[in-house]
Amino acid sequence: MKVGAEDAEEEGSGAGDRGARRGAGPPPAGQPGTGPPGGAHEVVELGSSGTTTADVVAVARRGAQVRLGPDARRAMAAARAVVERLAASAEPHYGVSTGFGALAVRHIAPEAREHLQESLVRSHAAGMGPPVEPEVVRALVFLRTKTLCSGRTGARPVLAETFAAMLNAGITPVVPEHGSLGCSGDLAPLAHCALVLMGEGEAFVEGGARVGGARARSGGWARPH
């Protein structure tokens, strides 16, 4: 059973077990979110709308596996097609074929756009201080994956798939406790999460070891970006 609109309406209402979870079990031993997926027999399926507090807890604390439903894949593919059309257009489109902020008037050539996006992630990964608790970071990654699955961001389906694969592999990005950017207040933490997908930054792996992003990404779970 996948998460639907009914689940979204009940989010936070105490109807936590009405999501797409199956076979709840005890929490894994050791550090939450850094060991082997202790809830591997649980599955949370993300659709194009809605999730529940119980699903967040299952993924963040018990290592429940995350998978993408067909409606989420369709929604993301449709939104990505819009971005591809904008990118191919001769008319400039902010953040697609232009720079950001004060550089919005600068045209970015197609061959430089991948580098621009990578540089944006690196520039925003500016946090400091001790790492946020792994279960909090797992919740952050899960909720960002849920947002991507809505099909309203223009991101490729492979991005949501890779975030889900990272969670399922027990890889937890190291996110510093202090610092963020933007009115939403989550740009720096999310940038640190994205670094690991690029083989950069740091992550906690099985057993709680803290390793570089390249090593964390070498386990075979990440598809080429």
155-159's contacts with Cβ under 8 Å and 24+ in sequence apart are 155/76, 155/79, 155/80, 156/76, 156/80, 157/68, 157/72, 157/73, 157/76, 157/77, 157/80, 158/223, 158/225, 159/197, 159/225
In-domain check, residue 181: yes
In-domain check, residue 223: no
Task: Count up the domains in the chain and report the number.
Answer: 1
In-domain check, residue 68: yes
Give the pLDDT of residue 9: 36
pLDDT tens for each residue of the chain, 225 residues long: 333 333 333 333 333 333 444 443 333 434 544 444 556 689 999 999 889 999 999 999 999 999 999 999 999 999 999 999 999 999 999 999 999 999 999 999 999 999 999 999 999 999 999 999 999 999 999 999 999 999 999 999 999 999 999 999 999 999 999 988 666 678 999 999 999 999 999 999 989 999 999 999 998 887 655
Give the pLDDT of residue 25: 38
The catalytic position among 81, 94, 115, 209 is: 94
Distance CA 145, CA 26 (A): 24
Give the pLDDT of residue 103: 93
State the pTM of this model.
0.81
Give the pLDDT of residue 24: 38
Burial (CB count within 10 angstroms: exposed 0-12, middle 13-18, buried 19+), residue 53 = middle
Indicate if 94 belongs to the active site.
Answer: yes
In-domain check, residue 82: yes
CATH code of the domain containing 35: 1.10.275.10
In-domain check, residue 224: no
Note down the domain range covering 47: 5-217
